[in-house]
Structure 1
């Protein structure tokens, strides 16, 4: 009498693990197939907090700004987990809720804060408000009309739909790699950047997106940027200037901070 329920529980856990392997594989593969994204450094299907697994995408060096194409890539690989569930199981789970929330927030900022919508234009929409001393979180107050709000919603939806379509294309184009990645995750549970690079060696990339124009009245210039200056002679680390060693405490502190900081997963 007990064998039935116990067996059913075990099968459900196995299925959930299989879904998670494809979900995280979808994130990672979508990121690897983009042209403006950072490398995938880790994938795991071991639970962490409320997440059943996570995929880590990290830059190789410090970055202080992000381009429109890089943000579009972020939207696409954020949708990769949901799309993998659609393609493989034809029945998406609730595991993508956090991914959808993050993607929607990014798309809305692109439209209302970053001026990356040709329809809305390079304007800042909404006013920050909040009274932290009263225990209220920093919020966002709408200061534009209902008509413009509808246009914003339409633009946000269009960005998410584009990301959904791109993820669908790259996962279908690379279904063999997605299956191999899921199998490796089920076998090893966690993959590092070397294992991931080997699996993604033959990934078929998404074609470059068309050049974006803020307006048809402002066509693309064909004048390229100036060449980047050639590297200067390296600083002699043994030299001193005014009695202060070249290796400053600020640099040492930054190095220490980098070593002690644990990166957070990009997608769950």
Structure 2
């Protein structure tokens, strides 16, 4: 890694100090004297070699001398400056050469004046550079954190964005919504001629990993305009006014590069509702928001700057930020459906070496609820597993294991059950599987395993038979019944329950509470008793009282218990009626540890892991012949070749009889 030359300045500074000290020590042996002292010394001293530097006004005399008053001492170096007059020049020549000393006269103009000036000003220059370097490093070494650039914008500008719409899959409707932005940035005149105003801001809302940032970047790539990207937290600092200054600087830079796109990720970090702080608002954050509102003022026309923001908490944003004229358009980027997941897998599989048996459509069916980031992670985990297994291609088994790793974590194969626990887990997972097979509205069982993953001792991979936007009451009841399958199977077989169903109980309780409090699917009627999003904003919701009375709370608890009780009764009946299937699946799980959908269906239909009616075509390889076969086979072929293929006697008799009948 190349280091900046400024990093060497402290070392250079220390070296210069050492050299200066050494030069000072060298000069410290030279006796500096004035003209009077030198005149007194010249009366009794003996001068050796001397140098005269004659300037316009003064003469610099240097050399060595022996003091006759001090016997036994070494020659002493001296230096003196005398006025430049004719009398002094003659006196110096006479005095310095009286004892046979030599005199050297130097021309002061023969040396390089720039070298002399540099020698004089070099120490000051080094000190100045050192202090500038120290001040520039006060911000932590980053070019964006320097002391003189503290209030500058931290937005990163990318000129040539390579991302295009072909790199964004699974959100076709969302891409249609932003095409007008691309047309405006390319040719704004046709919009202004029609009297249309392009939205100043677009707010992208959706779960994490659905591709909001990627879509915003693709808009800049398709429009071929600069792309400024920054996070909402980059505006907030401990110094009041810094965030507002950065907002002003960001829009100032964007105006110079217009037309362009400003992308603010996680805008809820700076755009939360004002006046909602606990014990007082955050002045720095609110001032930053106020400046952002001013820069996005809806009273002026668009100056070629389109602001795109992303968040997964639109409910806590300030209403002034969401009004028309600022963020005019809201685009909801949802989780992809099966077709979208397949398209996303195709995009991320471009540089992957997939085996011929890999079906991206089947893989998409196994990943309901996965975001684009999750699907990319599945393919990446599959590639890593293929490398780990020293394979040349990514197989379907690698991708199947990758799905399990993304959902539940790596398999803990070293963790071994004792016999009792292994049978218990087998019956628990078999209970889930039986409910999925026998209950009409239940989800489809794709895979059952008792290999521990994460905090779970085993798990069922169950996917919906078809993806829907809304769930009916019967489907929600079927989900609760399926979640109760493991716990009910344990109680049915062993007469007691274990703590392994804690995650199932948590999920079914959440579904049952939503049915009563949010969806109105109980005898309490279509009344909502809770926030459907379930997200609490402390600054706004903490001080609010409950939305229902204590009596209603008791009725809600009663309805939740009634829903769970009805599902538990139904679950127990299904498992009791299908006890043989429960034992069969649990037995095979105990032996094989993992069962696929095909194997489970074979157990239900045929009682075996493999379909006995399915004929497996084996390759017809010729047997190894012995000596007898080698001798008889050619004779048989020759005999077949020698057989006549013409008209035999029987054919002639039949023809004769036929002619006789016709004659009669």
- Is residue 42–residue 190 contact of structure 1 (8 Å, CA) maintained in 2? yes
Q: CA offsets, 1:183-222, max 9 Å, x none?
A: 110111111110111223389xxxxxxxxxxxxxxxxxxx
Which of 556, 559, 568 is equivalent to 1:164? Answer: 568
Which of 421, 437, 453 is equivalent to 1:32? Answer: 437
Bigger Rg over Cα? 2
Which of 553, 557, 560 is equivalent to 1:153? Answer: 557
- Is residue 18–residue 186 contact of structure 1 (8 Å, CA) maintained in 2? yes
When the two chains are superposed, the root-mean-square deviation of aligned CA atoms in Å is 2.6
- 1:14 to partner: Cα distance: 1.4
User: How far, CA to CA, are the matches of 1:16 and 1:142 in structure 2?
Assistant: 44
User: How far, CA to CA, are the matches of 1:46 and 1:27 in structure 2?
Assistant: 15
The SS at the match of 2:418 is helix
User: How far, CA to CA, are the matches of 2:439 and 2:509 in structure 1?
Assistant: 19
User: How far, CA to CA, are the matches of 2:455 and 2:592 in structure 1?
Assistant: 21
Higher RCO (C-alpha under 8 Å, 6+ residues apart)? 1
The SS at the match of 2:605 is coil
The SS at the match of 1:35 is coil
Question: 1:69 and 2:474 equivalent?
Answer: yes
The SS at the match of 1:103 is helix
TM-score by length of 2: 0.27
1:175-194 alignment, distance < 5 Å: 175-194=579-598
**Equivalent residue number for residue 206 of structure 1:** none
Which of 10, 19, 23 is equivalent to 2:428? Answer: 23
- Is residue 442–residue 482 contact of structure 2 (8 Å, CA) maintained in 1? no
- Is residue 23–residue 84 contact of structure 1 (8 Å, CA) maintained in 2? yes
User: How far, CA to CA, are the matches of 1:129 and 1:103 in structure 2?
Assistant: 19
The SS at the match of 1:201 is helix
Which of 518, 524, 528 is equivalent to 1:113? Answer: 518
User: How far, CA to CA, are the matches of 2:561 and 2:455 in structure 1?
Assistant: 27
User: How far, CA to CA, are the matches of 1:79 and 1:202 in structure 2?
Assistant: 26
The gaps in structure 1 that reach 5 residues or longer are 1-9, 204-268
Moved more, 55-64 or 158-167: 55-64
TM-score by length of 1: 0.66
The SS at the match of 2:595 is strand
1:137-148 alignment, distance < 5 Å: 142-148=546-552
1:117-266 alignment, distance < 5 Å: 117=522, 119-127=523-531, 128=534, 130-131=536-537, 142-201=546-605
User: How far, CA to CA, are the matches of 2:511 and 2:458 in structure 1?
Assistant: 22
- 1:157 to partner: Cα distance: 0.0
Aligned residues: 190
Q: CA offsets, 1:19-51, max 9 Å, x none?
A: 000000011111211111221111000001010
Moved more, 144-153 or 54-63: 54-63
The gaps in structure 2 that reach 5 residues or longer are 1-414, 608-664
- Deviant stretches of 4+, over 6 Å: none
